[in-house]
Amino acid sequence: MATPEKTRRDPLTLEVIDLIGTVVARYHEEYEQAATQHSLTGAQARLLSLLSLGPLPMRQLARKLRCEPSNVTGIVDRLESRDLVERRPDPSDRRVKVAACTDEGRRVARSLRDSLDFAREPLAGLSEEERELLRGLLTRMVEA
């Protein structure tokens, strides 16, 4: 059972929740706009961004995107047809296929990331100490 501390409903907590919701909504809106500029869907852009960090097996992509593996297959198929992604055998288990960014896919992913000004501009107004504090607080929330 949750403790009262973990289910606070005081005005400050509710205001923080609303602010987090606003930040998330603005981020998603800007992300969708950036994806559209590259003729991508939001899901395609998110998958491409994940793969820009390194190749991943299809099932792991599905877990990270919180969708069915069959959906990931379709997204990868469409990105592969545009030469943004390729399938490769997994070096540790050649029976498994991983999806990986091509050079062009990494370029597009970098362009997507660079076009997201929503968070970058307000964060620039915070001192390094404030950004470190915010990072620590957000990390604690994510890990809780």
In this predicted model, what pLDDT tens digit does every residue of 74-99 receive, in sequence order?
Answer: 999 999 999 999 999 988 888 888 99
pLDDT tier at 6, thresholds 50, 70, 90: low
Q: Is the model's pTM score more than 0.85?
A: no
pLDDT tier at 1, thresholds 50, 70, 90: very low
99 - beta bridge partners?
56, 87
When the pLDDT of each residue in the chain is averaged and rounded to a whole number, the result is 89
- pLDDT of residue 4 exceeding 60: no
- pLDDT of residue 2 exceeding 70: no
- pLDDT of residue 134 exceeding 70: yes
- pLDDT of residue 50 exceeding 90: yes
